[in-house]
Amino acid sequence: MGKKSILMISALLLTAVLMAACATVPITGRKQLSLISDSEMNAMSFQQYEQVIAESQLSTDAEATAMIKRVGGRIQGAVEEFYRDNGMSGELKGYAWEFNLIESDQVNAWCMPGGKVAFYTGILPVCQDDTGIAVVMGHEIAHAIAEHGSERMSHQIAVQMGGMALSEATKSKPEETQAIYMSVFAVGAQYGAMLPYSRKHESEADHIGLIFMAMAGYDPREAPKFWRRMSAGGGGAPPEFMSTHPSDETRIRQLNENMSEALGYYR
C-alpha cells in the first residue's frame, strides 16, 4: 500500500471518529465535537477550581456573598428543571455546584465545567442587583452547560493528536494534554479570569443564559441594559471580560432576537 493510500485511509478514519464524536448543545441545537467525557472534564476542572479558591481571598461581605449564592441557586434550579423536563437529567450527573465571591478589582466571573462558579467583587457595581447578577450567572453557566471548554479542547486534541480520546492522550502524552487543558482553562489569581471564549461561544452563551435567567424568574429584558453598562466600562476601555464578546450592536440585536423565546419561559 502506497503512502498516499495510507494517508487517505487515515484521513477517512479520523473523519469517521470525529463524526461519531458529536454532541448537541441544549436550546440552540448546534452540533459540536466532543472527544472528552464529562467525568474526565469535571475531574480536571474541580481540581483547578479548588486551587483557585485556595489561592484567592474570598469576600467577607456576607450580603454580597449571599446574593451570589442565592442567584446561583436559582439559576441552578432552572438548569436542572430544563434538563428534567427534556428527559436529560442524566447529563448533569457529576455536577457539584458551587458559588463563590472572590475579593478582587477584576470585572469578571466564570464557570468551570461541573458547575463551579466564581464571581469577582469588581463586577458587582456593574451588576447592581440580583437581576444583573442573574445575567452574568446565566451567561457563565451557559458556557459550562454548552460544554464550550470541552469543545475547544476536543478541537485541539483532534488537531494535535489526531482525534485521540482524552483518556488515551492523558496516558500516552500527559504533558501535551495538560498544555492543551491550560490553553483552554487557565484560571487563577495570576490570570484574574478564565481565558476568553470565541465570539461564537459568547453569542451562544448569551442565548442560553437568557433562557435560564428567565426560567429562574429574572426579567430577561434587563439583559441588554446590563451589557450596555458593562460595555461602558466606566468611560474607559471595555474590561477584559468583554475582549472577545460580540460588539455592542450585535449583542443587543441578538439578545432582542431571542427575547420573545426567553419571555416564553419568564414567570
Give residue-wise pLDDT tens across range 18-28: 444 578 999 99
Output the pTM of the full model. Answer: 0.81
Please indicate whether residue 177 or residue 258 has the higher confidence score (pLDDT). Answer: 258
Q: Which of 7-11, 15-19, 134-138 is most confident? A: 134-138
DSSP the chain: --HHHHHHHHHHHHHHHHHHTEEE-TTT--EEE--S-HHHHHHHHHHHHHHHHHHS-B---HHHHHHHHHHHHHHHHHHHHHHHHTT-GGGGTT---EEEEE--S---EEEETTTEEEEEGGGHHHH-SHHHHHHHHHHHHHHHHTTHHHHHHHHHHHHHHTT--HHHHHHH-HHHHHHHHHHHH--STTTSSPPPPPHHHHHHHHHHHHHHHHHTT--GGGHHHHHHHHHHGGGSSPPGGGTTSPPHHHHHHHHHHTHHHHHTT--
What is the pLDDT at residue 118? 96
Percent share of the chain, pLDDT over 90 = 57
pLDDT at 78 over 50: yes
What is the pLDDT at residue 2? 56
pLDDT at 179 over 70: no
pLDDT tens digits for 187-239?
554 444 455 678 899 999 999 999 999 999 999 999 999 999 988 874 344 45
Domain boundaries, the chain: 38-197
